[in-house]
Amino acid sequence: MNKTTTFLVEESNSNLRLDKYLASKLKILTRSQIKKVILSKNVSINKHPVSSPAQKIKCGDSIEIFIKEERVEHIKPEKINLNIVYEDKEIIVINKPSGMVVHPGAGNKEGTLVNGLLYLCKKNLSNLNGMYRPGIVHRIDKETSGLLVVAKNNFSHANLAKQFSNHTIKRKYLALIWGVIRPLNGKITTLLSRSKKNRQLMSVSERSGKKAITNYKTISVFSGKEIPKISLVECVLETGRTHQIRVHLSHKGNGLVGDKKYGKKKLGFKKINKKFEKILLNFQRQALHAKSLGFIHPRKNDLVNFDSKLPQDFKKMLDFLEKFAN
C-alpha cells in the first residue's frame, strides 16, 4: 500500500539537510533509500516538489514524503545447503559458493542466497532493503566466493549498514592475477562509474563516479618455463563499489585469472603446462575469494572476526602454482 507521511519541522531541526532530517524520522528507511525517494521527486516542502537531498530545511516547513510500495512476486523459500560460519539472534555469516546469486532479480528467481535464507530463517530477516533482499546488507558477485553477513532484524541491519557507510568493516579478499602488479604493495584510488560502452560493466573514470579505494599486497609470484606469470594478491577494501577489485586490478593491467568481463579475452600462450592448462579450462569464474570479514557486533558491541577456507577450485589452482613460487 502506498503511503504519504507529513512532518512539521521544529526549531531544533532548522537548517538540517533534508535527507538527514528524514533519516531521523523514518527509521524503516536507510539514508540511501531516502536519497532515492528525494531524487525521484517524491518529497515536497510546503507543497513544492524538491529533488536535492542536501536542501536545507527551516522551522515551520511542512514536509511530505510519498513512499511507493514495491510490487514484487512471491519469493519461494528453498532448502539450500548454506555454509553457515556463524549464527545468533542478530546475524548470520555465510560462506557463499561461486555461482550463487545473492538475491533474486531478472533471470534469477530461484536458487539464490535469499531463497535459502527464507527457508532457513522464515520471516526472521530484516526488510530495510526491500522484499527482494531480506537480510541482505551487502553483496558479492555471483562468481566470487566468500563471506557475507546477513541481518536478522532491522536494528542489526541499520547498525551494519552504518559501519559499511563509515568504511569500518574489515574485508580481505584473495585474488590470483595475471602478471606482477607494480608496485608490489600499494593503494588504488579512483572514481568508478558505469561503462559508456556497456552499462552492465563498471570502469575507471577521470571526472565522475563514486570514489573507490582498494589496498593490495602481493603475497606470492609464480612463474616457470611452461607457466604464465601469475601473482597471489591480498586486497583490503576501504570502499565497496560494484566490481571494485575486478575493475581496479584490470585498470592496473593485472586482471583476475578467469575473469571473462574484465580479464584477458584470450590466453595466447604458445607453450603451457598441460596439467595447468586443464586446471585453467575447468576454472569457470574469476579467481576472487572474500577470505575474511570483521565488524562490531550490532548488539554485543564487540569486535568479531570471521575467516573462511578457500573453495576447492581456487585451492586446486593455488596448490599447483605453489610449486612455481619465486
Catalytic entry in 19, 88, 141, 319: 141
| Peptide linkage before 228 cis (omega within 30 of 0) | no
Q: Is 307 a catalytic residue?
A: no
Q: Are 245 and 173 in contact (CB under 8 A)?
A: yes
Q: Which of 92, 90, 73 is nearest to 82 (CA)?
A: 92
Per-residue exposure over 65-90, b if at least 16 CB sit within 10 Å of its own CB, e if not: bebeeeeeeebeeeebebeebeeeeb
CA distances from 157 to 64, 128, 147, 286, 320 (A): 26, 7, 16, 29, 41
Q: Are 228 and 267 in contact (CB under 8 A)?
A: yes
Crossing angle of the two packed helices 274-282 and 312-321, in degrees rounded to 10: 160
Cell of residue 303, nine digits = 569486535
CA distances from 10 to 24, 25, 35, 60, 74 (A): 13, 12, 21, 6, 41
Q: Which amino acid is at 132?
A: Y
Crossing angle of the two packed helices 31-39 and 18-25, in degrees rounded to 10: 120
Point out the residues that are catalytic: 141
